[in-house]
Amino acid sequence: MDPTQYQKFKNIVATALELPSDKVKDFLDEQCANDNNLRHEIELLLNQDMQDDFLEQSCVEVPSKENNKPLLKGQIGRIELDNLIASGGMGEVYAGTDKVLKRAVAVKVIKSGISLSSKGRADFLNEAQILSSLHHPNICQVFDFFEEDGKDILVLELVEGKTLRQILNNKQKIQPLEIAKQIIAALVVAHERGIIHRDLKPDNVMVTDKGIVKILDFGLARFDEFKEAPTSLDRNNNQTQIAGTPGYMSPEQALGKRSTTATDLWSFGVLLCELISGTQPHPKDSTVNELLERTKIAKYEIPSSLGSAETNLIKQLLSAKAKNRPTARSVLNEISRIQGLPKTRFRWFLGVSLFVICLFSIWKYTTDLTVQKDKANLARIEAEKLVNFMLHDLHPQLNSLGKLGLLESASKEVLNYYDNLDPKQSYRTLDKQAFALLKISSVFDAQGEIQKALDTLYKARTLFNQLLIEQPGNNNLRLNHGQTLMNIGELLSITGNYKDSVIEANMAVDISGQLIIDFPPETISNVTPNAHDRWWLHLRSLYLLSDTYRRKGDLNKAIEILSIAMNLAEPALKKLPSLASIYADIIYMQCNTNYQIHVNQEVLDICIKSAKLSEQLYKNKPDDFRSTFVHAIDLGFLANIYRELKQPQKAISTINKAIELSKKLNQWDSDNQTVENDLVSNLNVKGQILYEQGEFQASQVVFEEAYQIIIRLTKDNEELHFAHNKLYTEIYLNKLKNAQVTANFLKSKGMKTRDLLALFTELENRMKNKLNEK
């Protein structure tokens, strides 16, 4: 609205307010005429439920800094105290700076009146030690613990954000399961080291602006346990009672018994219920005493609006007996499972795939029943039906959900099954086997088991070769053969075996090239394979070939192949719109390859085009795994180019979008390593943007998050891009010795991308600086 429009708007509202209520409608009809927007704005304003005394009392709330005079001033040890950020019954918390390590910290001073028995103190010290050795992204880290002037002092990670209590009170939009998952992930780590929180509740859970959960005050409730009885709470008014600890306390705590790890799971159950439904499993206006009584007998009501999986989980968590509650780890698994079902209609697939896996394990026995041949034969027929079902029906569905991992154990069973067939049987099903192997390899690939995927593909290649000798004109076989070679080439390329990759890719280009001769994209016929499959394979093979040359550093060759691909793809797309995704891939490759040569406006334009294409595909299918994944990659790439072109604002907003998508993908399939690696790539870009903007600390936080993921990924996966990302984080976190090891590995593989070379330079510079410092 501009000032002129506002004047009109204001006058209509003011007059409407002066009119008797029954005249208002006619007046608005007359004034707004056809301007529906204006009318809508006016009605929004008029129909508010405003308190009468709004703004009539001149009272403003100011930030609390000024009126809280810290009791501690100046410095404790090497920590300079800044301001008091919270105070309460147990002590005070200050923001401060560790002057040696140059990091922001929180300093918690426990009031001297509150002290523990020597046993309790020893236990607490022990826990504080364990906690300080514990680096978990969801636990507020303990840096130090010591005593000064008879006060116990904890030095903690400074967490910025809102408490879950504030978020729930404000009815802020959140992803309940995502938050729950992060909380339980923290509990898994703590519990497995014997640390109990003892007072888990929304007030103790912080959520940062980036949506990262940090649990505070681990084990601190120990100070409470030895303090006074909960009767002191009785004096609170009713409103604060429901928000306080009694609602979350476990039956054993209410009965004054010892806490165990299961205690936290009860509290988590209450929290989970509140996260999902917005309310605790207790009546809203309960008093503290009522809550305590309910807790003692483990009485609760879960709102009926919750889904059955969620309800069951909460019921288990709220078991009266501590020993009946599930462990944190199994709860984590269950939440991931529930989360993995983005829509209820997909739940069916999960059920079915679990069913298939069960059946496959039964065959193992039935196929062994060589004595009862009939039964074994019957089992075989059933088995083949299931393999068919799995590969033709389940595979594509699960693939689009990014949940191929669910087929992993079934795939292994299928392989076993084929291995155990007698030669005659085996020969008859050769084509089915070859096809099954091709699909199964993609399951292994998605799980990051590259060697297994390759082995499976090599087997499939042998079978296809064998089959093609007998039926050289079978185009379905040729297509699948080409696909197999292309997949082999892709895996070889990402693991740095460029020489062999080029051979496989070239063969795939040849095979698919023959398939599109006399088969233009607009061909409509019942002949299989159809035009889309043929053209897709050809374009994809060209894409792979150029990608391999790019990785190798042979950029001229890469560009040459890309122009061939473009010349084919552009006209083909007009005739066959389903080629849009491979077309987008080719544009992405153009963007990426040109980027290796130089960064300028022209490259930026190509990359923007690429991101726009993938955005379109993503918008058409927001629930599709691949389109989301591709768009996340494109945005990450684009952000990096903005960074290089010194457009930090665009870089940051783009990378934030990319990270959001990566995280969504990671939620869909938390085991998919490629997705996790992409998340790391995007975090690295963000880290570097922040670093270059002088936001050193923020960048370290981002790199640390990336590092935690990539360390896990590179443990047993040789993919070069994983190593590349590892190097990235190691350099920017100044872990220079580790970085050198990683760099040497990458140098030995001959990978020469622009980003990698930039990393090598950065590493060299840092090493030099380090030497100079010495």
Partner 1 sequence: MKNKSIQVTLLLNRWQNGDHDALDELIPQVYQQLRELASAQLNRNKKNSIQCTELISEAYIRLIDATGVDWKNRTHFYSMAARTMRRVLVDRYRKSNANKRGNNKTLLTYNEDLQSGSSQAIDLDNIEQALQKLEKLDTLQAEIVTLKFFGGLTNKEIALVQSVSERTVNRDWSVAKLWLYRELQGS
So which residues are the catalytic ones?
A: 199
8-state DSSP, 397:
H
Q: How far is the CB of 48 from partner 1 (least distance, A)?
A: 6
Give the whole-angstrom CA distance, residue 768 versus residue 166.
48
Q: Name the segment binding partner 1 (CB under 8 A); options: 38-46, 171-179, 448-456, 759-767.
A: 38-46
Task: State the DSSP string of 485-518.
Answer: HHHHHHHHHHTT-HHHHHHHHHHHHHHHHHHHTT
Q: Tokens standing for 361?
A: 């394990």
The residue (of 431 and 695) whose beta carbon lies closer to partner 1 is 695
In contact, 145 and 152? CB cutoff 8 Å: yes
The one among 21, 34, 54, 171 contacting partner 1 by CB under 8 A: 54
Nearest to 625 by CA among 306, 332, 349, 275: 349
In the region spanning residues 171 to 210, those forming contacts with partner 1, defined by CB under 8 A, are 199, 201, 203-204, 206, 209
Closest distance to partner 1 from the beta carbon of 253 (Å): 16
Select the residue interacting with partner 1 from 17, 122, 597, 757 (CB under 8 A): 17
Torsions phi, psi for 372 (to 5 deg) = -90, 80
Residues 679, 663: contact at Cβ < 8 Å?
yes
Nearer to partner 1, 206 or 680 (CB): 206
Nearer Cβ to partner 1 (46/306): 46
Please say which residue, 68 or 738, places its beta carbon nearer to partner 1: 68
Smallest gap from Cβ 131 to partner 1, in A, equals 15
Give min distance, CB of 268 to partner 1, in A: 16
Query: With respect to partner 1, which residue has the nearer C-beta, 17 or 757?
Result: 17
Q: Which of 59, 100, 229, 371 binds partner 1 (CB under 8 A)?
A: 59
Q: How far is the CB of 89 from partner 1 (least distance, A)?
A: 5
Burial tier of 219 (Cβ tally within 10 Å: 0-12, 13-18, 19+): buried
Q: How far is CA 72 from CA 95, 107, 143, 374, 610, in A?
A: 12, 10, 19, 85, 57
**DSSP label of 140:** P
Q: Are 745 and 721 in contact (CB under 8 A)?
A: no
Interface with partner 1, residue 55, by CB under 8 A: yes
In the complex, the smallest distance separating the C-beta of residue 188 from partner 1, rounded to whole angstroms, is 22
Closest CB to partner 1 among 90 and 491?
90
Tell me which of 57, 118, 526, 772 binds partner 1, using CB under 8 A: 57
Q: How far is the CB of 167 from partner 1 (least distance, A)?
A: 12
- For residue 24, state whether it binds partner 1 (rule: CB under 8 A): no
CA distance 713 to 680: 10
Pick 237 or 748: Cβ nearer partner 1: 237
Contact stretch for partner 1 (CB under 8 A) within 3-11, 266-274, 321-329, 408-416: 3-11
Q: Are 723 and 746 in contact (CB under 8 A)?
A: yes
What kind and span of H or E run contains 482? helix 475-494
CB of 92 to partner 1, least distance (A): 8
**CA gap 196, 206 in Å, rounded:** 18
Please state whether beta strands 91-98 and 79-87 pair in parallel, antiparallel, or not at all (unpaired): antiparallel
Q: How far apart are CA 308 and CA 351, in angstroms?
A: 14
Give the nearest distance from C-beta 32 to partner 1 in angstroms: 16
Question: Distance between CA 566 and CA 561 in Å, rounded?
Answer: 9
Sort residue 155 into left (φ over 0), alpha (ψ -120 to 50) or beta. Answer: beta
Stretch that binds partner 1, among 46-54, 187-195, 326-334, 451-459 (CB under 8 A): 46-54
Does position 287 interact with partner 1 (CB under 8 A)? The reply is no
Q: Is 1 in the site for partner 1 (CB under 8 A)?
A: yes
Letters for 231-260 (x = contact with partner 1 by CB under 8 A, - = none) are ---------x--------------------
> Which among 7-15, 186-194, 478-486, 619-627 is the span making contact with partner 1, rule CB under 8 A?
7-15
Report the residue from 48, 308, 526, 772 that binds partner 1 according to the rule CB under 8 A.
48
345, 351 contact by CB (below 8 A): no
Site for partner 1 in 60-119 (CB under 8 A): 60-68, 85-90, 93, 95, 106, 108
Looking at 10-18, 130-138, 354-362, 600-608, which segment touches partner 1 (CB under 8 A)? 10-18
Nearest distance from C-beta of residue 139 to partner 1, angstroms:
14
Residues 110 to 169 in contact with partner 1, rule: CB under 8 A: 140, 156, 158-163
User: According to the binding rule CB under 8 A, does residue 696 interact with partner 1?
Assistant: no
**AA letter at 375:** K
| Residue 217 binds partner 1, judged by CB under 8 A | yes
Question: What DSSP assignment string belongs to 15-49?
Answer: HHHHS-HHHHHHHHHHHHTT-HHHHHHHHHHHT--
Name the segment binding partner 1 (CB under 8 A); options: 41-49, 369-377, 504-512, 679-687.
41-49
The residue among 6 and 427 lying less far from partner 1, judged by its C-beta, is 6
SS3 for 659-725 is HHHHHHHHHHCCCCHHHHHHHHHHHHHHHHHHHHCCCHHHHHHHHHHHHHHHHHHHCCCCCHHHHHH
**CB 102 to partner 1: min, Å:** 18
Residue 45 near partner 1 by CB under 8 A: yes
- CB-based contact 515:475 (threshold 8 Å): yes
End-to-end Cα distance, the chain: 62
Compute the least distance from the CB of residue 510 to partner 1, in Å.
56
At 262 the three-state DSSP class reads helix
CA distance 92 to 542: 64
Sheet order of strands, 162-163 included:
162-163, 205-207, 213-215
Nearest distance from C-beta of residue 293 to partner 1, angstroms: 24
Confirm if 179 and 207 have CB atoms less than 8 A apart.
yes
Only segment of 59-67, 512-520, 585-593, 740-748 that touches partner 1 (CB under 8 A): 59-67
To the nearest 10 degrees (0 to 180), the angle between helices 648-668 and 673-692 is: 160
Closer residue to partner 1 in complex, CB, 516/689: 689
- 118 vs 237 by CB, closer to partner 1: 237
275 vs 587, beta carbon nearer partner 1: 275
Q: Which is nearer to partner 1, 171 or 284 (CB)?
A: 171
**Residue located via tokens 């401060």:** 96
- 694 backbone φψ class: left, alpha, beta (φ>0; ψ -120 to 50): left
CB-based contacts of 702, cutoff 8 Å, min separation 6: 683, 684, 686, 687, 690
Number of residues that bind partner 1 (CB under 8 A): 57
Interacting residues with partner 1 between 630 and 659 (CB under 8 A): none
- The answer to the question of residue 694 lying near partner 1 (CB under 8 A) is no
Nearer to partner 1, 45 or 306 (CB): 45
| Residue 53 sits in the site that holds partner 1 (CB under 8 A) | yes
Name the site residues for partner 1 (rule: CB under 8 A).
1-3, 6-7, 10, 13-14, 17-18, 44-46, 48, 50, 53-55, 57-68, 85-90, 93, 95, 106, 108, 140, 156, 158-163, 199, 201, 203-204, 206, 209, 216-217, 240
